Each structure stands twice: as C-alpha cells, then as structure tokens.
C-alpha cells in the first residue's frame, strides 16, 4: 500500500484526500510518531492525541496565511510532519535538528515560538488585532488544553478578546490530561460531568440494560456518540458566551 504521508509536502495536499484516506493518513502519522519518538525522545501521548485534530485544522485552514498557534507547543509534532518537515523528523530534539516546540525560525507555519503554557490565546489575539488594523482577513486559531486554559494569562486573554470582539478562534482540547492535576474553578467545571458518580452509575446501568436487548450493542454505540452532546448541555456554555465567544461543541477530536 502506498504511504499517503509520503505524498504530503504541504498542508494544501490534505484537501486532495478522501475521508477514507484521512483515516489511513492518521494511522500512518501515529506509526511515524511511535517509530521516531522511541528513538529521539519527546512527547508521545500528547501528539498521538491530536492527530485527527491537526489533520482537520490543516485541511480547513490555509497555513501559513492562516495562523495556527499551539499552546505550549509540545503537541506540534504532527503539525511539523504536515508542514514540510517530515524529511528532517528524525532530527527532532537533537542538536541542530528540529525543535520539540514550534519555532518561527524553523518554518513559516510556526507563527509563534512556544514552550510555556497559557500563552497561545494572547499571542493569537495580538495577531488578530494586527490583522484587523492592516485590513486583512486571514484566520487566527489558538489550540489550548484544559490544563493550560486555567492559567491566568489565558484567562486574561479570553477576557480581553471578548471585550475587543476580535475575530479569533479558540480550540479547547479538553482531554483531561496534564503534567499534574488541574485545579481551580475551571478544572471543576470540566470535571463536573466527567467524574460525577451519578453520571458514571447511570452510564454503566444503561449499558447493562441496553446490551441485554436485541440490537442493544448498536443502540449503545449510538448513545455513546451522543453522550458528548449530553455533556455539552450540562457544561455551562453560558460562561464562554458571556465572555463574548460563540461556543460550538463538544466535538469528537478523533474523527477527522
């Protein structure tokens, strides 16, 4: 089978692929990550978790004209593979090789140098303001995790962005994973449904009942896919809208 990854030299190449081919590409990217990072070291799990998200972003947006900013940047390996750096990927985190984070000196597809958490939204807002002042119309998107978004700098940027009303996209990668447990009110909001014992009990009992019925497995699978929507109804989306953002979600981050 021909490797699709070998045919991707620029994000625009993703637009030529079918949905079936996108799934194959996602599998190839994960294998590339495992094969490389087991040798060079680096952040494996965080990158395995954003494969489809990264594919989707580069399929929809027009990088480097559109700006995609990865908070912290340790989850940008897939982004590097899709933006013309796969031939040098074996040099990841090696002396003189590719950076383990995004780096503007390395590629025009890296609009912001990262390495610290909670900085992406403020950087994206600055770019959005500059765009508006110049009368341009490109997109600016910040990708930030549920841990980093609890940082003060991220919250200040959300508050400022809502006040200015700038056209800015913030993608919250709510995967429940960070280097240590998240704390504070926002963390409680994200965990409210995820760890609510009543929710978990109802989920398990529903599974047992449905799977005992004819076609129960199929019904359970449909319900599992709909559960994200249920969670979204319970989470206080009014908070985001109150900050001036139009909230869309939750979205399955593993469905390209």
| Domain contains 241 | no
With a cut of 70, say whether residue 82 has pLDDT above it. yes
Q: What gap in Å lies between CA 11 and CA 58, rounded to an integer? A: 6
**Is the pLDDT confidence value at 178 over 80?**
no
CA dist 249 → 147, 172, 236, 246 (Å) = 18, 10, 12, 10
* pLDDT the model gives residue 89: 97
Identify the pLDDT of residue 8.
96
pLDDT value at residue 29: 98
Q: What is the pLDDT of residue 172?
A: 92
Please indicate, yes or no, if residue 117 is contained in any of the structural domains. no
The reported pLDDT for the residue numbered 205 is 72
pLDDT at 181: 56
Q: Which pLDDT belongs to residue 174?
A: 82
Name the strands in the sheet holding 67-70, side by side, starting at the edge strand that comes first in the sequence. Answer: 67-70, 140-145, 169-173
Q: Is residue 98 part of a domain?
A: yes
Tell me, what CATH number does 60's domain have? 3.40.50.970
Instruction: Report whether 89 contacts 33 (CB < 8 A).
Output: no
Give the separation between CA 105 and CA 143, rounded to whole angstroms: 20
Residue range of the domain that includes 97: 1-106
Whether pLDDT at 227 is above 80: no
pLDDT at residue number 252: 83
- Pairwise CA distance, residues 9 & 84, whole Å: 5
Mean predicted confidence (pLDDT) in 176-200 = 57
Q: Are 75 and 114 in contact (CB under 8 A)?
A: no
Give the global pTM.
0.78
- Measured between alpha carbons, how far is 253 from 251 in angstroms, rounded to an integer? 6
Is position 16 within any domain?
Answer: yes
Tokens of 137: 């119309």
Classified as helix, coil or strand, 68 is strand
Task: Give the count of domains, the chain.
Answer: 1
Beta-sheet strands, E only, within 2-93: 67-70
Whether 76 is in a domain gets the answer yes
């Amino acid at each position: 089978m021909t490797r699709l990854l070998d045919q991707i030299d620029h994000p625009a190449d993703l637009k030529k692929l079918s949905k079936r081919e996108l799934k194959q590409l996602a599998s190839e990217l994960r294998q590339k990550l495992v094969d490389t990072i087991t040798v060079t070291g680096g952040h494996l799990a965080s990158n395995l978790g954003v494969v489809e998200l990264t594919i989707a972003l580069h399929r929809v947006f027009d990088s480097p004209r559109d700006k995609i900013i990865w908070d912290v940047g340790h989850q940008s390996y897939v982004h590097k593979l899709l933006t013309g750096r796969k031939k040098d990927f074996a040099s990841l985190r090696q002396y003189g090789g590719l950076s383990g984070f995004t780096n503007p000196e390395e590629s025009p597809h890296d609009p912001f140098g990262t390495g610290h958490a909670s900085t992406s939204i403020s950087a994206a807002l600055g770019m959005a303001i500059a765009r508006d002042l110049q009368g341009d119309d490109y997109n600016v998107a910040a990708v930030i995790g549920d841990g980093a978004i609890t940082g003060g700098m991220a919250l200040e940027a959300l508050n400022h962005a809502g006040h200015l009303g700038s056209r800015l996209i913030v993608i919250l990668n709510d995967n429940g994973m960070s280097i240590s447990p998240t704390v504070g009110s926002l963390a409680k909001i994200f965990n409210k449904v995820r760890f609510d014992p009543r929710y978990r009990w109802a989920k398990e009992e529903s599974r047992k009942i449905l799977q005992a019925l004819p076609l129960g497995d199929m019904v359970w699978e449909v319900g599992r896919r709909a559960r994200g929507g249920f969670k979204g109804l319970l989470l206080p989306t009014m908070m985001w809208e109150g900050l001036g953002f139009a909230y869309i979600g939750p979205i399955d981050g593993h469905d390209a």
